[in-house]
Structure 1
Amino acid sequence: MVGGAEDSDAAAERTTERHRKAILSRVVFLGGVAVSALLMFWGAWERRWIADDGLIVLRTVRNLLAGNGPVFNTGERVEANTSTAWTYIVYAFSWISQARLEYVVLTIALILSTAAIALAMFGTARLYRGGSFAGGGTLFLMPAGVLVYIAVPPARDFATSGLESCLVIFWIALLWLLLIRWSQAATPSTTSVLILSFTAGMGPLVRPELAILGVASLAMIFLAPGLTWKVRVAMVFVAGIVPVGYQIWRMGYYALPYPNTAVSKDAGGAKWSQGFAYLWNLLGPYLLWLPLVFLFAGAVIAWRGRDKHIGDGVRHTEGSRLTRLRGWLRTQNAVVVFILASGLILGLYSLRVGGDFMHGRVLLPVLFCFLVPVAVIPVRIPDRASWGRNKESSIFLAMAFLWVGTVVWAFFASNTTGMPEGVVIGRSGIVDERAFYVLNTGHAHP
């Protein structure tokens, strides 16, 4: 009887300890989300402004509000804005609020930029909540990739600016979270699949090149097992109803199958040398390659340190190679590969077209795709009894070192001037547009 009571007390104590660790882990994670979101909000607010291209969006919205249609000049059917979704979101909230357009676009941008950081962290946290990462000690999910993104000055510049950058990263973060949830569900509900499909289908309306992510994610969902043909047909309809409908209308109204910006900026031309110059213009000044190396190493250590005997999602290990491949599509590994491959393809496209004239702008979605899988990284502190020269302690020390290194880099990078030339536009044609207007107008928030 005494032995049984002691065993019962010990079991209760272990349960209490696990519960305490789980609460502590959750509090630290939510605190990290709050701090990261606040940093993004504050950084965007401190560098708030509207770019020239942002003013083009506002002019189009003013014409919409005046009843002249989605045009830049009355009577000229030219689609002057690259992001259809951004134009109509700004229009909708302007019509509802009747507030000054500049305040409307600033409010939307701050909300979307901040929400993107939180969604990315919640999505990545789900990677480390599974049984394969269960173990002794206390698991802390520390903000990492999101800190790298926030630290890069162009990310804070274009969090506002009147352009669609805030909507782009919000859409990527939302798609990431929904895909991770889909990959981990034992049996995804029809509603969740259709919501995911609708979100993916909106990609080309957020920005035309985001069709890469949208189509690839839809193909992954469509080909994965577990869906009836009725649901597959429904998801194709739900995904295509808005973008296909708008495309038909666009070709009839503007007489072009794509925005006019693709014509004016020669989006089909190959300018590789300028593209690589544009890439180094972002990577070089901030030593951006350094935290990417840190986080890649951290991801490898975390992944190799997990329990490989516990699966990461729905997996089919029997049947033909095609059956196994289809089963793999609905795993979190497949989602990680998808987002990284999408970032790589977007990056190659940006390099091919020569980047942009604005410092870092078109590479921000690429950077965000690469950082989303490491938005948070797992740092497991071993129990006191487990300290020593063992695997658990070594992994903790390595992850702690990489996380601290990332935070230190973020502090210095956030205060680095990427283009100290200021108002001088060099031979590359690349300029820090916000700094250019700050110096030329004398206003901190032009």
Structure 2
Amino acid sequence: MTFATPFHTRLRSTRHSIPVDPRRAATAAAITACVVVFAAEVYARRWISDDGLIAVRQVRQVLAGHRPTYSTAERDEVNTSVLWTWLLVAVSAVCGGEPALQAVWAGGILSVGALAVALDASRRFQRSRGADGMLLPAGVLVVLGVIPFWDYGTSGLETGLCFFWLSGSWALLAAVKPDSTPRRRHGTAFALGLGPLVRPEFAIASAAFLVALTLLAGARARKILSIIAVAGVLPVAYEIFRAGYYGILIPMPGLAKEASNTHWGRGFGYFDDFLTTYKLWIPLALLCVLITHLYGRARPSNREVVLVATPVLAASLMCVYVLRVGGDYMHARMWLPLVLLMLLPLFLVPFSRTTGVVVALTAVWATAVGVNGRTSYHNLDAGPQLITNEREFEAAFFGHKHPARAADHLGGDWGAYLEQAVDTARGSAIPVLLYMAHDNATDKDYLTTVPLAPGRTESFAFFWDNMGMTSVLTSLDQLVIDRNGLATPISGHLRLDHPGRAGHEKSLSLVWVLAKYADPVAVTRV
């Protein structure tokens, strides 16, 4: 015969006194499933883009003790995202290894983390509204179904950071209350103010978030001033550094792409390419039904109005910006953060008969798009306005299913040809400039060299237009001259006379290059 001690008796009674709520358990399972599925999708499409390698070269320069630039001979801020650059510097310094691969992993972790943060914030928001039952995945199904979300979960670009900052900002807002402590209020303000350092146009989202913060915190004049001061301290400090060090007020990609210009027609073409490829009007219409059902019957509280309206308003304003500047040449990339932002309040919705039907229809659409949703142009083909499905394009161009390492970008016929030409030119007895010339007799282009100008300290210079691939071919102390303006200040400052493919409209003439970098004695004709 055995006897239970009082401690064991209390332990058994405690275990049996906490029943598991099956509805909350189902919600937790649904959240977990969404995160796991998205992580699997991102991993299956892992890669680093040519533009991602441009940012990685700047990181490598910093790690080598050089300037934060592309070529040591120039001062040029080649990466649009300040935070992404310095985050990669920190990750690479701590973890070691190849910075390109660190960029892939960091982007993937941030993207998956963003989804987890957004789902948890949506759960807390719905619970604060009194929804104590099961919550269904709704808006998150758009992220799970649209393939570009998988592609740009990595890519070496700042998109994963964009996802994480937007999700994290909304999560911080959802935790703010009128009685929040000054530490929480100022900590939230500091995080919300980082938008311009994530991407310059994210200043729009920062402004919207900060207005929401003042409303949610019930801030008066003095508190509002302190919020603005804390939010602006780092962006303003960096802008002073940028103006003094680089001599410009925006990153070079913004100057090279003339981000202040207006191209409404091209912008709407870019929007149509995204909208029609995935038939996005279907989930948008279904989610409008959800908004009406959730908030149309009873008057929501002021807090609910702010938390729902802020991401929708911020995303709408940023959509106008993308339309005005003409979009991008990478299919869907500029739209992804905005779609995620707009859907944040509807990532999870309370279960009811109506929401169940709407979510089921959205799930059918997401499954169909995930299986069959593809651009009409594939591999090396370009679509309208010379838009490309960049991941497919580069995988085909470099002949690698997952071009996630720097060396993977030297595959294919072009990679082998360029690598051989660069090796030959670097082995020259004198410093030379390698560039593409044209043979009028055969009407073909070919790579050739000319001696560098006396006084140039570089052992080799290369005039080309794929700065990511070129960053792999050349060492950090060798000069690279960018035809399109991202990595060379002189080409970035050219006047844009003839609009063309987004991001590739400026072209530095060989005449300028030879005049600035080549030995004038050796240059007899162009």
TM-score, structure 2 length as denominator?
Answer: 0.70
State the shift of 1:201 in Å. Answer: 0.7
Write out per-residue CA displacement over residues 388-429 of structure 1, whole angstroms, 9 at most, x where no aligned residue: xxxxxxxx1x22111111111111111234323211124511
Unaligned runs of 5+ in 2: 1-17, 404-526
> In 1, Cα distance between the equivalents of 2:209 and 2:225?
16
Matches within 5 A, 1:285-364: 285-305=277-297, 308=299, 312=301, 328=302, 331-364=303-336
Write out per-residue CA displacement over residues 169-215 of structure 1, whole angstroms, 9 at most, x where no aligned residue: 11000011111111xx3511112111110111101000001101112
> In 1, Cα distance between the equivalents of 2:320 and 2:366?
26
State the shift of 1:335 in Å. Answer: 2.1
Over the aligned positions, Cα root-mean-square deviation in angstroms equals: 2.0
Matches within 5 A, 1:15-34: 23-34=21-32
State the shift of 1:225 in Å. Answer: 6.0
Give the one of 387, 393, 406 matched to 1:430: 387
Q: Check whether the contact 1:190–1:231 (CA below 8 A) recurs between aligned residues.
A: no
Name the structure, 1 or 2, with higher relative contact order (CA <8 Å, separation 6+): 1
Corresponding letter in the other structure for 1:46: A
Give the one of 180, 189, 192 matched to 1:188: 180
| Corresponding residue of 1:163 | 157
| Corresponding residue of 1:439 | 396
- Describe the shift of the 1:407–1:268 C-alpha distance in structure 2 as closer, same or farther (beyond 3 A): same
| Corresponding residue of 2:365 | 409
Write out per-residue CA displacement over residues 319-360 of structure 1, whole angstroms, 9 at most, x where no aligned residue: xxxxxxxxx4xx121121111011101111101111100000
Q: Which deviates the most, 39-48 or 219-228?
A: 219-228
> In 1, Cα distance between the equivalents of 2:117 and 2:136?
15
Q: Check whether the contact 2:107–2:161 (CA below 8 A) recurs between aligned residues.
A: yes
> In 1, Cα distance between the equivalents of 2:337 and 2:330?
14
Per the alignment, in what secondary structure is the counterpart of residue 349 of structure 2?
strand
Per the alignment, in what secondary structure is the counterpart of residue 217 of structure 1?
helix
> In 1, Cα distance between the equivalents of 2:216 and 2:286?
33
Per the alignment, in what secondary structure is the counterpart of residue 335 of structure 2?
helix
> In 1, Cα distance between the equivalents of 2:131 and 2:383?
50
Q: Check whether the contact 1:119–1:173 (CA below 8 A) recurs between aligned residues.
A: yes
- Say yes or no: does 1:379 pair with 2:351: yes
| Corresponding residue of 1:249 | 241
Give the one of 139, 142, 148 matched to 1:145: 139
| Corresponding residue of 1:220 | 212
Write out per-residue CA displacement over residues 136-169 of structure 1, whole angstroms, 9 at most, x where no aligned residue: xxx2111121121121111111110000000001
Per the alignment, in what secondary structure is the counterpart of residue 276 of structure 2?
helix
Per the alignment, in what secondary structure is the counterpart of residue 377 of structure 1?
strand
> In 1, Cα distance between the equivalents of 2:224 and 2:264?
39
- Overall identity of the aligned pairs, in %: 33
- Describe the shift of the 1:265–1:274 C-alpha distance in structure 2 as closer, same or farther (beyond 3 A): same
Write out per-residue CA displacement over residues 256-307 of structure 1, whole angstroms, 9 at most, x where no aligned residue: 011011111111111111111111111111111101111121221122356x
Corresponding letter in the other structure for 1:375: F
> In 2, Cα distance between the equivalents of 1:225 and 1:371?
23
State the shift of 1:441 in Å. Answer: 2.6
Matches within 5 A, 1:261-280: 261-280=253-272
- Say yes or no: does 1:76 pair with 2:32: no
Corresponding letter in the other structure for 1:143: P
Q: Check whether the contact 1:205–1:243 (CA below 8 A) recurs between aligned residues.
A: yes
- Describe the shift of the 1:223–1:405 C-alpha distance in structure 2 as closer, same or farther (beyond 3 A): closer
Per the alignment, in what secondary structure is the counterpart of residue 350 of structure 2?
strand
> In 1, Cα distance between the equivalents of 2:36 and 2:339?
20
> In 2, Cα distance between the equivalents of 1:349 and 1:229?
30
Corresponding letter in the other structure for 2:192: A
> In 2, Cα distance between the equivalents of 1:158 and 1:35?
20
> In 1, Cα distance between the equivalents of 2:317 and 2:59?
32
> In 2, Cα distance between the equivalents of 1:223 and 1:31?
34
State the shift of 1:221 in Å. Answer: 2.7
> In 2, Cα distance between the equivalents of 1:359 and 1:279?
9
Q: Check whether the contact 1:43–1:156 (CA below 8 A) recurs between aligned residues.
A: yes
> In 1, Cα distance between the equivalents of 2:256 and 2:203?
20
> In 2, Cα distance between the equivalents of 1:66 and 1:23?
55
> In 2, Cα distance between the equivalents of 1:358 and 1:123?
30
State the shift of 1:216 in Å. Answer: 2.2
Corresponding letter in the other structure for 2:396: L
Task: Give the number of the structure whose residues are more often helix, by fraction.
Answer: 1
Corresponding letter in the other structure for 1:141: L
Q: Check whether the contact 2:83–2:197 (CA below 8 A) recurs between aligned residues.
A: yes
Q: Check whether the contact 1:180–1:332 (CA below 8 A) recurs between aligned residues.
A: no
Q: Check whether the contact 1:149–1:371 (CA below 8 A) recurs between aligned residues.
A: no
Q: Check whether the contact 1:64–1:70 (CA below 8 A) recurs between aligned residues.
A: yes
Q: Which deviates the most, 192-201 or 409-418?
A: 409-418
Per the alignment, in what secondary structure is the counterpart of residue 129 of structure 1?
helix
> In 1, Cα distance between the equivalents of 2:128 and 2:190?
27
State the shift of 1:219 in Å. Answer: 2.9
Q: Which deviates the most, 245-254 or 93-102?
A: 93-102
| Corresponding residue of 1:240 | 232
Matches within 5 A, 1:169-208: 169-182=163-176, 185=177, 187-208=179-200
Q: Check whether the contact 1:299–1:377 (CA below 8 A) recurs between aligned residues.
A: no
Q: Check whether the contact 2:179–2:217 (CA below 8 A) recurs between aligned residues.
A: no
In our comparison, the structure showing a higher alpha carbon Rg is: 2
- Describe the shift of the 1:196–1:421 C-alpha distance in structure 2 as closer, same or farther (beyond 3 A): same
| Corresponding residue of 1:388 | none
> In 2, Cα distance between the equivalents of 1:406 and 1:436?
30
> In 1, Cα distance between the equivalents of 2:260 and 2:128?
43
Write out per-residue CA displacement over residues 116-150 of structure 1, whole angstroms, 9 at most, x where no aligned residue: 1111112222232135546xxxx211112112112
Q: Check whether the contact 2:376–2:383 (CA below 8 A) recurs between aligned residues.
A: no
> In 2, Cα distance between the equivalents of 1:300 and 1:223?
24
Per the alignment, in what secondary structure is the counterpart of residue 257 of structure 1?
coil
> In 2, Cα distance between the equivalents of 1:123 and 1:412?
28
